[in-house]
Amino acid sequence: MQRITTRNARFQQFQTLLTNRTKRGRAREFIVQGVRPITMAVEHGWTIRSLLYDASRPLSRWAEELMRGITTERIAMAPDLLAELSEKAEGAPEVLAVVEMEPDDLTRLRVDEDFLGLVFDRPTQPGNIGSIVRSADAFGAHGLIVTGHAADPYDPKAVRATTGSFFALPVVRTPSHREVGEWLDAERDRGRPVLVVGTDEDGECDASDFDLTQPVLLLIGNETAGLSNAWRERCDHVVSIPMTGSASSLNASNAASIVLYEARRQRLAKARG
């Protein structure tokens, strides 16, 4: 057990995991805040590198069981420092976890006859990534791919917005559409005909009129620019969400949730015969 009571070098290293994407990526670790996200990380087998806890007060039963159940580094931290790392306006949490990142390997996404995956192209808002992860988990998707120079799924804002679903769903980053295209071509060569379905206001049909029970990779474009030309060329089909009123478009995470729900609705109806 270690103890940190000042803003020493080790504490500053933890701070960079919150604020510095480059250093977070170099360390291959990130800070997880909250009881449910930490619990989900443990339940889904993620590697916990450190547990930071408030040694100035008795721990809850949950925290005690967490400490007993994991063999890892334990660091007793002053409450004010723990509160700073938790990014909470008031009060210090009992425990924070430093968790090892999973590899950015597209083979983490299991592709079979009912595959449902998503691509979020060049997202700018970490919160939108988190919201899409949460919806993807809720509606039975098999993973999310974040492409291009984009917001980081390991940003604490993104991880918090998933409310723990981040640890139940593969989330993979790729530099561009090319890596995803190569992966798709390899899957198709193995006899897994995944359709690439874009979402756009000028789609060829409504999402409800398209068969989403097939193996599908849904594309969600950048919040401002939409789908890139490269991704449009890669699409096998483009669907739209019917809208009324004066709104010109939907938030990216809202659009993703609607199409994911429609895919889930169709698949349940097909299973019921």
**pLDDT on residue 248:** 64
Instruction: Say whether pTM exceeds 0.85.
Output: yes
Provide, rounded to the nearest whole percent, the portion of the chain with pLDDT above 90. Answer: 86
pLDDT digits (tens, 9 = 90+) for 119-135: 999 999 999 999 999 99
Q: What is the mean pLDDT of residues 155-159?
A: 96
Cα gap 84→93, rounded to integer Å: 10
Buried b (16+ CB within 10 A) or exposed e, 77-115: bbeebbbbbbeeeeebbbbbbbbebbebebeebebeeeb
Cα gap 97→49, rounded to integer Å: 8
* End-to-end Cα distance, the chain: 57
Work out the mean pLDDT of the chain and round it to a whole number.
94
Residue 247 has pLDDT above 70, yes or no: no
pLDDT digits (tens, 9 = 90+) for 169-219: 999 999 999 999 999 999 999 999 999 999 988 888 999 999 999 999 999
Collapsing DSSP to helix, strand or coil, 192 comes out as: coil
